Amino acid sequence: MKKKLIIGNWKMNPVSSREARKIFTGIKTAASALKKVGVVIAPPFVFLPELVKGYRGKKIVFGAQDVSFEQKGSYTGEVSAPMLKDFGVKYVIVGHSERRALGENNELVHKKVLSVLGQHMTAVLCIGERERDRDATYFTFLKAQIVTALRSVEPTQLKKLVIAYEPVWAIGKSAKDAMKPHDIHQMVVFIRKVLTELYEKKVALSVPILYGGSVESGNAETLITEGEVAGFLVGHASLEPQEFNDILSIVERS
Ligand code: PGA
């Protein structure tokens, strides 16, 4: 059985490197005992080098929260995929809804996916509808997010792809506001269907689909077992070591 995957997205937190080290220290011991769960920590760019250099373990791998679509050059403020690779980053979150809210569209997300895959890192493609409407147009919306992002992505590159389904309306709240497991499962089936329209079934089925949006220790168990996801993308709960470690051990036992 494939390992489950839990990605901690720290977003623009914490404010100091001292705090970043403290949170990381609080997670690494619990992570070292895991056998069935892979852990990715995605801190802000500025904390990556010191966390990577200071970590001697093997269980945690590092992720970035964003990337430029260009390789190098005159792009003020941007960080490129080759730079991230050089830092030791293995996963890159692409198209998070908070980036999309700042203006990223499907075309830009597509270029970023290619940039990450071009460096043989894993792209964590985030998709998710802003709201649910009675006519269910969110299915079309999600399909466009997937189809555009994966345009010209070769079947062999799908080994390095993870899809994180994060309905925007469920992000940053608390466990009771997360999507219901049954609905998550329905979305997983839908995403798989879109993937099988684009790729051979075997390849399409191999892409891990994560859920994100108010995952906490209080709902992790039902979400993982009934939602039938390959893991989680965790936001606020990943900044509290105790809470995050509880999620890790719940998934390890599930
Ligand atoms: P949340 O964030 O767990 O705080 O809802 C999830 C995310 O935005 O990735």
Ligand 1: which atom is nearest the Cα of residue 238? 3
Taking every pair of C-alpha atoms in the chain, what is the biggest distance, in angstroms? 51
Which residue carries 């892979």 as its tokens?
Answer: 38
| Closest C-alpha to ligand 1, atom 7 | 235
pLDDT at 2: 87
**Residue range 121-132, pLDDT digits in tens:** 999 999 999 999
Q: Is the CB of 214 under 6 A from ligand 1?
A: yes
**Number of CB atoms found within 10 A of residue 70's CB:** 14
Task: Say if residues 203 and 155 touch (Cβ distance below 8 Å).
Answer: yes
CA–centroid distance, 96 to ligand 1, in Å, is 10
pLDDT at 208: 98
Q: Is the CB of 213 under 6 A from ligand 1?
A: yes
Q: Is the CB of 247 under 6 A from ligand 1?
A: no
User: Active-site positions?
Assistant: 96, 166
Query: What is the full per-residue pLDDT of the chain (254 aa) written as tens digits?
Result: 689 999 999 999 999 999 999 999 999 999 999 999 999 999 999 999 999 999 999 999 999 999 999 999 999 999 999 999 999 999 999 999 999 999 999 999 999 999 999 999 999 999 999 999 888 999 999 999 999 999 999 999 999 999 999 999 999 999 999 999 999 999 999 999 999 999 999 999 999 999 999 999 999 999 999 999 999 999 999 999 999 999 999 999 99
Q: Is the CB of 238 under 6 A from ligand 1?
A: no
pLDDT at 1: 67
pLDDT at 171: 96
| Closest C-alpha to ligand 1, atom 9 | 235
**Residue range 203-235, pLDDT digits in tens:** 999 999 999 999 999 999 999 999 999 999 999
